[in-house]
């Protein structure tokens, strides 16, 4: 049984292409499209595969797009357990203007999950032969799904002894944190909403994250700072990790790649300081590639080795 399970409630097939120049009201000639599996947890599973680690991807799938999604995951040798739904899996569209490198991303809202389909997702998780060591919940909620569903998922996972890694936003983030997770990866905007303040800077963000830890809503917080890197926060540790300077071509999948690096580090016994650096290396490496492509392992290795030189001289003792 996979030690790592990912849950994606709003998966997608990402279709991407390029056009010589995007001009309104004109018929544009595009390059042949690429089709790739998409959605938070699914991208985490794909990124873990690039780190030579298997995980089990659980997600709802329906219609021809759902079939294509499963076929694409099979091609990438991703272990999967789809939950059949009546609706049709969504398709996102990404187009790059080749004249200036600008990227246009069109995200569709997703297919509503019927109450019985939501229950089937819960049943699928509960009926795994062995509880995973890590359950990664990543991505948005589809239309019609209340945040309470994530709370139920977290509650059930904790009862079975799984460590939950959470990467979502809005009411879903609030509901899941209320149950207490192992690790959360908010960005500054999401953290400011959790703290109930208009905005946060580096110092106040760490304080807000430590409040989450003291309140029992999570044991570890990794604040995503975008181009500035990330900040690891536990009850006793604050560790800022800079992002290496690279030529950025696309930010699609960077956050999911960071989560993959984090769960890989935790699963393989790296220290928390090493784990967050691996996460930053994976996220940064993903931005070096165009379109919806994730990272290349050699780029991760090179960036990670550079980031190891930023390890604090006397690491904190906040390993949870």
pLDDT tens for residues 218-248?
A: 999 999 998 889 999 999 999 999 999 898 8
pLDDT at 35: 94
Residue 290: pLDDT over 80: no
CA distance 124 to 149: 14
Decide: pTM greater than 0.85. Answer: yes
Overall average pLDDT of the 251-263 stretch: 92
Q: What is the mean pLDDT of residues 130-138?
A: 97
Active-site pick, 14, 239, 256, 299: 256
What residue ranges define each of the domains in the chain, with the CATH number in brackets? Answer: 4-17+32-308 (3.40.1190.20)
With 90 as the cut, is the pLDDT of residue 208 above it? yes
Question: What is the pLDDT of the chain when averaged over all its residues?
Answer: 93
Q: Is the pLDDT of residue 250 over 90?
A: no
Annotated catalytic residue 97: no
Q: What is the pLDDT of residue 2?
A: 60
Give 25-55 pLDDT, tens digit per residue: 999 999 999 999 999 999 999 999 999 999 9
């Amino acid at each position: 049984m996979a030690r790592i399970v990912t849950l994606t409630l709003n998966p997608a097939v990402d279709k991407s292409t390029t056009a010589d120049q995007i001009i309104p009201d004109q018929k544009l000639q595009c390059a042949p499209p690429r089709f790739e599996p998409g959605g938070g947890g699914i991208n985490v599973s794909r990124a873990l595969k690039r780190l030579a680690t298997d995980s089990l991807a659980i997600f709802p799938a329906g219609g021809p797009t759902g079939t294509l999604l499963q076929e694409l995951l099979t091609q990438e040798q991703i272990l999967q357990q789809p939950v059949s739904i009546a609706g049709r899996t969504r398709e996102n569209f990404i187009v790059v203007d080749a004249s200036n490198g600008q990227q246009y991303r069109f995200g569709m809202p997703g297919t509503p999950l019927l109450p019985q389909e939501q229950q089937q997702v819960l049943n699928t998780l509960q009926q795994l032969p062995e509880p995973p060591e890590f359950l990664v919940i990543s991505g948005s909620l589809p239309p019609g799904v209340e945040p309470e569903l994530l709370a139920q998922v977290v509650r059930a996972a904790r009862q079975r002894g799984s460590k939950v890694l959470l990467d979502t936003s809005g009411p879903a983030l609030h509901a899941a944190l209320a149950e207490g997770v192992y690790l959360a990866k908010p960005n500054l905007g999401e953290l400011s909403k959790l703290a109930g303040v208009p905005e946060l800077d580096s110092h106040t963000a760490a304080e807000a994250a430590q409040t989450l830890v003291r309140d029992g809503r999570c044991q570890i917080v990794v604040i995503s700072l975008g181009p500035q890197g990330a900040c690891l926060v536990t009850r006793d540790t604050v560790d800022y990790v800079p992002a290496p300077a690279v030529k950025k071509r696309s930010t699609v999948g960077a956050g999911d790649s960071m989560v993959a690096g984090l769960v890989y580090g935790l699963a393989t016994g790296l220290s928390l300081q090493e784990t967050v650096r691996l996460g930053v290396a994976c996220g940064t490496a993903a931005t070096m590639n165009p379109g919806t492509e994730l990272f290349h392992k050699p780029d991760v290795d090179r960036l990670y080795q550079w980031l190891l030189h930023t390890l604090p001289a006397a690491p904190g003792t906040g390993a949870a």
